[in-house]
Chain A
Amino acid sequence: MFEARGLEKVYRMGEVDVVALRGVDLDILEGELVVVLGPSGSGKSTLLNVLGGLDAPTAGRVRWRDHDLSRADDRLLTRYRRDHVGFVFQFYNLVPSLTARENVALAAEIARDPMDPAEALALVDLSGRLDHFPSQLSGGEQQRVAIARAVVKRPDVLLCDEPTGALDVATGRLVLSALAGVNRDLGTTALLITHNAAIAAMADRVLHVHDGGIARVVVNQRRAAPEELAW
């Protein structure tokens, strides 16, 4: 699904160049659940930005199916995000003035073939909280609304950046099982970024990122259920 070759990203911070990615080669297959593991500053978020069309690489090439993301302009990248990508972030980034259903509808309304927002919320077990505003929801609930908002458009790929970073263990498990469910039931390719090694067990493959490069790749023989994880 993704094919990256010689991916490089250099940020110019004032007068210093910070190399975030140095020559990353990467292939991700359809339907896979991949965990990208690495300490902070290792370049994993940059990798996700580039794959998600939020940022362009300084050098190298990245393809999604038959689209060249490294050469696309803002219009094409917007189109790509709109039609194919669902994002989930550590801070849920819900629109506080919209209810759970409306937050999900925000994504559904601009999608080509969305599900019903209520259906997406049911997938993450929030059928009872449709008309609640974010301020009336717990952190875990807010994150699950964010997941519903990401999946309502039936994306081809789900990109999650530290989705459990702000949550306690029990709530984190709930969120991870919602993600795993989407990957399993809808066949959505999922890329999950974390510095939490415990989460790696639920992946098909684990990419260990270090200092802007992929240090090693571990293939799990068996995917652990999120409920089994502990950290």
Chain B
Amino acid sequence: MTALWTKLRRDLWQARGQATAIAVVVACAVATSAGSVATARALARSRDLYYARSAMPDLFAEATRVPAAVAGRLAAIPGVAALETRAVGDGRVTWAGGMARVRMISVGPEGGALGRLRLRAGRLPGAGEAAVSESFAAATGLGPGDRISLIANGRQQPVTISAVALSPEYIYAMPPGGLFPDDRRFGLLWMDRPEVEAALDMEGAFDQAVFRLAPGVHPAAVADAVDAVLRPFGGLGAHGRDRLVSHRFLADEMRQLDAMAVVLPGIFLGVAAFLVSVALSRLVASQRMQLGTLRALGYGSAAIGLHYAAYAAAIALAGAALGVGLGHALGAWMSDLYRDFYRFPLLDYRADPGAMAQAAALALGASLLGAAGAVRGAVRLQPAEAMRPPAPATYRPTLLERLAGARALLSLPARMSLRGLARRPLRAALGTLGIASAVAVLVTGAFFDDAVDFMMRLAFQESLRADASVAFSRPVSRAALHELRRLPGVVAAEGSRDEPAVLRRGARSQRVAIGGAEPGARLTAIVGEARRVVPVPDEGLVVSARLAALLGARPGDRVQVELLSGRRASGELPIAATVDDVLGLTATASLDTLRRLARQGDLVTGAQLAVDPAARPSLDGALRNRPAVAAVSWRKDTIQSFRETLARTMLAMATMLVGFAVAIAGGVVYSAVRASFSERSRELATLRVIGFTRVEAWRVLVGEVALQLAAALPLGALLGLGLALLAVRSFESDLFRIPVVVDRSTWLFAVGVTVLATLLASLAALRWIRRLALADALRSGD
């Protein structure tokens, strides 16, 4: 058998170009699969370890103000194993050079019993001190020893930073009402309980309770009992980890990674299997004589079958080896990206032999599947038959040529190409599909850029038109807007109102923040994906289409609305319209509608400002000096921070995908041209001998590939749209929805890369034609 292995080695070496092209496609599949699985596992492992070590709560409940004595009743609920109560509230901090919103959280002795703080630097805060979240510290440069000024409830107090810390409840920290992390302008501030109580007027009370449940107890069962206890105190509805933003974001990320580990490698391996099938059938066809000789020498079916299967396996394993290495690097790279996003004490990424082995096994399986047909052919070939040159393949005029007069219009090379494709329609179709899949993957990788651009245009140009948004630390009278309008640089000011609320319809409910806007507002607008502006209704709500679907509601249906702040007023509102917006689950009502619902004076919680750009620095200072102002966010900063966070990871992944797509496009077209060349080298030699120049012979060769390319481009565009849709479905969450928007430049890019790859592979064919040993090709009967 040694001789056969030697033959295998030399066959592979001879076909190294094509083998490499296939191996690269396999490597892309293995890398994506192994890389994403390993990363998802690293995230899960790091999260689980962190949750376990920090006693992550199972259940969370917020209320307006609960007397400390009620804690005993909560702890007595069956199924509750441990309880911690906290005082939590929002405020803002300023320091030399900055201002940010903060969430103050009381911290128990030794970092708390549940959801324990982990210190990265410094020591637990004492009187007049606070620990800040690591992401905030990293973004602002603040650290232990720095002094900041805290403003809460309209009062200002100096605070010294004592520590930089992490919490398992805020692995991913989003500002309240925000849609993505904004570490420079939002941070967490852990302080001693009495400090927070004093700042929030919460002495002898708490407004958050977190629970650890006894093993096997379902959070939903306990939640109802907790809600019953907290209802009189403004309980907002207890919920499990699944509704904790940090947990949910992380879970979504892992789900996306899992989807990525299946969908993309599936496509890549399908392409690889096809390429193996083409390459191997060509090899078997060209080795008929050798096969006959081997048979005559006494090699059995098993040995011959194994020989060709090993050819496919060798390519798959080489690709897998490359892919495993690439996948490890890819996983490490993705984990690095995540480190900025998800704050674990340790993101434990390591090589994952299980994921690697699984991906390699899949690659091997796909490759062998692709080889099956050719191997069967080799095994079935009878020795006597194999020793004769093959009978000329049977061709017939194609349907197209049989149309009256059509044949005369087709050149001889065109007829050769058409008949070649028509003789083996399945293979032609698969080849076309292979090139089309390259186009599709290119579109899928590249459209993210367009989608993010589109989201940003929609969110920050068409919806949010204000230069600056001001959030007040407590609801203020609408008259306060007059004051803002008088500030230097303010061109216009419109009131807005954010009301945390629960929407209910039948058994379904959803927590949202209802945005109140002035009818005819010019600084904010409700804009859907089709860039249609939905006016603020006089009566009722405009909600995200996704929110309506979650509630099972349609325009005209009425929903129960319970406001979660103040007196917790409730009432019924109709759904006036739905809007297919892209960021978050939104609900918008007119300020008057909210006023009627809340049965409260004409209040606003924020303001949207149009500002003369030159006046920004002075206006910033003026706003900062107003205790009623909790936060100011500038649109410019928001856009930048969006680019730095969501957009950056998403685009990094997309760039990687584009890299793979380019490799696959190259692999597919190279293989297609190479197979076509091997199959027709005899024909090409004939043409050359007759007197065709190299370029004339080359044109005959590329005709077939060009026809497939022409068919593949529109098909690939369609597949690309489908694949993009599939990709965004797997990325979709309550927090954002990526629209399938493909700009013309992306179409051009996908088509351009594929055509260019085909052109380059075709140019390589010109070199193969030059090297064609004319006389030898024609004399052999093989």
Partner-B contacts on A (CB < 8 A):
45, 49, 52, 54-55, 74-75, 78-79, 81-83, 85, 87, 89-91, 93-98, 102, 105-107, 109-111, 133-135, 142, 149, 153, 161, 166
Measured between beta carbons, the chain A residues less than 8 angstroms from B696 are 110
Known: A54-B774, A90-B779. A106 touches B687 (CB 8 A): yes
B449 → chain A closest CB, angstroms: 44
One of A54, A94, A102, A109 near B775 (C-beta < 8 A): A54
- When C-beta atoms are compared, the residue in chain A nearest to B680 turns out to be A95
Name A95's contact: one of B683, B779, B780 (CB within 8 Å): B683
Q: List 26 A-B contacts (CB under 8 A).
A: A45-B775, A52-B689, A74-B694, A78-B688, A78-B694, A79-B691, A81-B690, A82-B693, A87-B689, A87-B690, A87-B778, A91-B778, A93-B685, A93-B689, A94-B686, A95-B416, A95-B686, A95-B687, A96-B392, A97-B395, A97-B420, A98-B416, A98-B419, A102-B412, A102-B415, A161-B779
Per-residue A-contact encoding for B666-709, CB less than 8 Å = 1, 0 else:
00000000000000001101111111111010000000000000
Q: Is the CB of A54 within 8 A of B689?
A: yes
- Tell me, in angstroms, the Cα distance from A80 to B379 when the chains sit together: 45
Q: Which of A74, A102, A106, A134 contacts B392 (CB 8 A)?
A: A134
Tell me the nearest residue of chain B to A136, going by C-beta: B394
Q: Are B412 and A105 in contact (CB under 8 A)?
A: yes
Contact B412 A55 (CB under 8 A): no
C-alpha spacing A75/B770, complex, angstroms: 11
Contact with A along B758-782 (1 / 0, CB 8 A): 0000000000001000110011110
Complex CA–CA separation, A46 to B345 (angstroms): 76
In the complex, B519 has a CB within 8 A of chain A = no
Residues of B within 8 A of A45 (CB): 775, 779
* Complex Cα spacing A94 to B778, Å: 10
Whether the pair B389, A96 counts as a contact (CB closer than 8 A) is no
Query: When chains A and B are docked, how far (Å) is the Cα of A161 from the Cα of B776?
Result: 12
Q: Given A89-B778, A91-B781, A93-B778, A149–B690 Cβ distance below 8 Å?
A: yes
Q: Give B478 Cβ to nearest chain A Cβ, in Å.
A: 82
With A78-B688, A81-B691, A97-B423 known to touch, is A91 a contact of B779 (CB < 8 Å)? yes
With A and B bound together, what is the CA distance between A102 and B407 in angstroms? Answer: 11
The contact of B691 among A55, A83, A96, by CB within 8 Å, is A83
A153 to B691 CA separation, bound complex (whole angstroms):
11
- The answer to whether A96 touches B690 (Cβ under 8 A) is no
**Which A residue sits closest to B420, measured CB to CB?**
A97
A96–B393 CB distance below 8 A:
yes
Residues of A within 8 A of B423 (CB): 97
Q: What residues of A have a CB within 8 angstroms of the CB of B419 in the complex?
A: 97-98
Chain B residue nearest to A162 (CB atoms) is B779
A76 to nearest B CB, angstroms?
Answer: 11
- Contact between A55 and B775, CB atoms less than 8 A apart: yes
- Chain B residues 405 to 450 lying within 8 A of chain A, measured CB to CB, are 412, 415-416, 419-420, 423
Question: Quick one: CB contact mask for B695-735 with A, threshold 8 Å, 1 for yes?
Answer: 01000000000000000000000000000000000000000
Which residues of the other chain, A, contact B693 by a CB distance below 8 angstroms? 75, 78, 82
A47 to chain B, nearest CB (A): 11
Nearest CB on A from B107, distance (A): 80
Bound Cα distance A95, B393 (Å): 10
Q: Is B402 an interface residue (CB 8 A)?
A: no
Bound-state CA distance A110–B689 (Å) is 12
Q: In the complex, A124→B687 CA distance in Å?
A: 21
The docked-state distance in angstroms from the alpha carbon of A45 to that of B385 is 28
Contact A135 B395 (CB under 8 A): yes
**B775 proximity list for chain A (CB < 8 A):** 45, 49, 54-55
Tell me whether B396 is interfacial, beta carbon within 8 Å: yes
Chain A proximity of B273: nearest CB distance (Å): 27
- The smallest beta-carbon distance between B409 and chain A, in angstroms, is 14
In angstroms, Cα B64 to Cα A31, docked, is 113
B391 at the interface (CB under 8 A from A): yes
Q: Which residue of A lies closest to B690 (CB)?
A: A107
Pick the contact of B393: A105, A106, A135 (CB < 8 A): A135
Cβ contact within 8 Å between A135 and B687: no
